[in-house]
Structure 1
Amino acid sequence: MNSRLLHQMTTIALAGFMLSTSAGLSIQAGFAAPRLFEVALTPKLAALPESVEQKVRQAAAQQFGVQPSAVNLVSFNQQTWMDSCLGLGGAAEICAQALIEGWRVEVSDGQNNLTYRTDSNANTVRLEPRSSEATLPIEVSQRLLNKISRQVRVPVDLLKIAAVRSTTWDGCLGIFKPRQACTRIAIPGWQAIVTHGERSWIYHLDQSGTRIVQNSTASGSRGGLVPSFIPEENKLPIEDTVVFQSIVSGDLAGTVTRLSLTKEGVITKYVSAPNIRTRPVVVKRLSQPEVERFERLLQTQRFPNLHNLRYLSSAAFADYPTTTLQGMGMTTQYIDLETKNLPRSFQSIIQTWDKLSK
């Protein structure tokens, strides 16, 4: 066996092991991981077709801003993806449910690495998102857990930091309150998801952990429902004319149902699927006072504090539909099987929208 083939076999084995381990940890933590790991994780030994390598190099060259010849192949393995979006479909993207043979290819420009997914001939090439999650410094982690322990009266050793992301806050550390003015300064910091058995909390911190504030709107999920962060590829733009909208997607048929409320009070329904394209249908018209009351509710229930968070259970892996809510420039997601375990403010927003839009 020559050295090149041995290197490929070793790389493939390690890549498969790392993916399997990561997927296992995500499921074990009790919340739905990004669709990054919804694949048949059985690497197969084969040579990467030259056409696939060339198309990946071209895509990476554009991303890196270099010539294709400057892109180095790090590793590759065959994969079986679970849908036509190669497991990377966004919340409102229509993905045909089918087994797609293809490749997972890692490349580098000598400083940074990128990983791409393709079908068998690279007619479809998609970039895997980089994780936005981070790790708290030990001192900051200790400060956070000690503060939570005092607040919720739970021993520190029973608390677990489920996920962390680095971010930049305003003067209020990103905590929205109606009619509250926040200084427009850039404060580097963290957003942390902390769990204890059946309960979870969301905390906002500055970089050193000197300021630590609980996001009470997003905290309080129960029944083992642990929030997670919405992956970048699942974040969708919302039109300026839309006050609020819900997008239900993710069932086996690939159906996407969108309900949108405009500033003029028009609620429109649009349904799409791989073989279906319906025209938008006006289902209801609200008066201007009704629209304004709903906008006030979003503020009083502090909807912006749910931004970038999703509340999904393992049922999401079984292609059970999930709902994306968007309003005030913010996005959050949940699975309706767990509505009763969501934070109370979140439940109130869902109930009001359901009554308003039906």
Structure 2
Amino acid sequence: MSTRIVSLGVGLMLLTNALSNALSASAVPLLAVRPDLPMPSSLPGLVSRRVQLDLGRQLNVPFHTIEIEEATVQTWPDQCLGLNRPNERCVGDEVKGWEIAVSSEQRRWVYRSDRTANRLRLESLPNFSNQLSQQLLETAAKDTQQPATSLQILDIQPVVWDSGCLGISTPDVACTQAQVPGFRAIVANGPRANLGYASEEPGPTEWIYHLSEDGSQIVQNTVASETKAYVGTFFSNLEVVMPASSPFNSRIVFQSIAYSFVDGTTYFRTLTADGEVWIEMRDTRSNQLIETIMLRPVSVDEVADFEKLLTQQQFSDFDHIHYINENPMSAIDGAEFIIASRTTVGISAGERGLPDNLQAVVKAWRTIAPL
């Protein structure tokens, strides 16, 4: 039986994990269990608690905030539960156990375990180790002048950085032009309320970090971290593309896709290098074209100034981040994604809650292509 993938918080959530092997044999006594015994029909409480303790310990959050969503009986191919690490020998016969989906904040994680969770592993991010999570918390504590015990890891996303600068703009600094495997992470100084049940109090302060896989580089993305009260940061894996029928005869400089929950229409706005601003309207449900209009021409100088602004405001630093309103007293109609080159940013919040650099880009874009 395969695990059911659900969406938590916003949009498309990666089915990821972060961290490494869990409770060691020295910490938890191994239980002698006859392998021929039938598996129980539901997840035992002991297994649930070990999963909660492991993820809570590694994310630095109370274990009771970790929710068990779903568990299915599985037969794993070896003692490594089918998740062998580099240079690890996995011997032994098949192992009966569990596949366990759990959630922490807006993130969903998937564990593999044997019958009693003496062996426990997380899927998808085997290289984000417990040691790396502690390095991240210690670095964030120094950067923010807050005790590490007060910080939590809210989200982790695997990424392959294009250069040694780890996706952060560094003017006048030469970046090594080699791909670097690593991660994005969100660290906060407190828990985040579930979306839809937010309190009237502002949420925690959140900081975005970029890491190399080996932990030799851990850098705060300061430009993207400067949100205001009631705006939360999330990672998005949604790749947004314009319809193939779009009538552009020139290089695309900038695009936005806005989804309106009120009228059920998706609005595609595009600026081209030759100074044309187009809007295409489609029915959100059927994707049927409603109308395509050339809004207005802009001068080549205006296009050049806007491209210069994108560089000055370090727009590429916002890639794959989605800013979401968490104020229950302020409704937001729909969501918008803005795109330049390979950078995609999601906005479901008022402009005033966004980081200053992103506000500047959005304001300039609204002048070029009004809503």
Q: Given the two structures, how large is their TM-score scaled by the length of structure 2?
A: 0.58
CA distance, structure 2, for counterparts of residue 177 and residue 327 of structure 1: 18
The CA deviation string for residues 131-188 of structure 1, in whole angstroms up to 9 with x for no partner, is 9974731111111111111111112111111111222221212212346542211222
Q: Which moved more, 1:266-275 or 1:344-353?
A: 266-275
Aligned to 2:184: 191
Aligned equivalent of 2:273: 263
User: Hey, what's the Cα distance between the residues in 2 that align with 1:242 and 1:298?
Assistant: 14
Change in Cα spacing, 1:195 to 1:35, as seen in structure 2 (3 Å) is closer
Structure 1 counterpart of 2:147: 155
Q: Secondary structure at the match of 1:222?
A: coil
The whole-number CA distance in structure 2 between the counterparts of 1:348 and 1:220 is 13
What does residue range 12-161 of structure 1 map to in structure 2 within 5 Å? 26-27=8-9, 32=10, 34=12, 134=125, 136-161=128-153
Which amino acid counterpart does residue 295 of structure 2 have in structure 1? V
Confirm whether residue 236 of structure 1 aligns to residue 241 of structure 2.
yes
Q: Label 1:140 to 1:237 Cα distance change in 2 as closer, same or farther (>3 A).
A: farther
Q: Is the 8 A contact 2:210 2:221 kept in 1?
A: yes
Please identify which structure carries the higher helix content: 1
**Cα distance 1:253–1:237, how it changes in 2: closer, same or farther (>3 A)?**
closer
Deviates further, 277-286 or 144-153:
277-286
Q: Secondary structure at the match of 2:146?
A: coil
Residue identity matched to 1:153: Q
Aligned to 1:213: 219
Q: 1:146 to 1:35 in 2, by over 3 A?
A: closer
Cα 1:189–1:138 change in 2 (3 A) is same
TM-superposed CA distance for 1:218, in Å, is 1.2
Retained in 2: the 8 A contact 1:134–1:164? no
**Is 1:246–2:256 an aligned residue pair?**
yes
Quote the offset at 1:319 in angstroms.
Answer: 8.8
Inter-CA distance 248–303: structure 2 relative to 1 (3 Å threshold): same
Does residue 345 of structure 1 match 2:357?
yes
Distance 1:265 1:177, change over 3 A: farther
2:313 pairs, out of 301, 307, 311, with: 301
TM-score with structure 1 length normalisation? Answer: 0.60
The answer for unaligned runs of 5 or more in structure 1 is: 1-10, 38-106, 113-129
The CA RMSD over aligned residues, in Å, is 3.8
Taking the aligned partners of 1:278 and 1:178, their CA distance within structure 2 comes to: 43
Percent identical pairs in the alignment equals 26
Q: 2:265 and 2:276 mapped to 1: Cα distance?
A: 23
- Whole-Å separation in 2 of the counterparts to 1:157 and 1:267: 50
The one of 301, 304, 316 aligned to 1:292: 304
Q: How many residues align?
A: 250
User: Counterparts of 1:186 and 1:265 in 2: how far apart (Å)?
Assistant: 34
Specify every segment of 5 or more residues in structure 2 that has no aligned partner in the other structure, as ranges: 16-73, 84-108, 111-122, 191-203
CA 249–134 in structure 1, closer or farther in 2 if over 3 Å, else same: farther
CA distance in 2, matches of 1:133, 1:227: 22
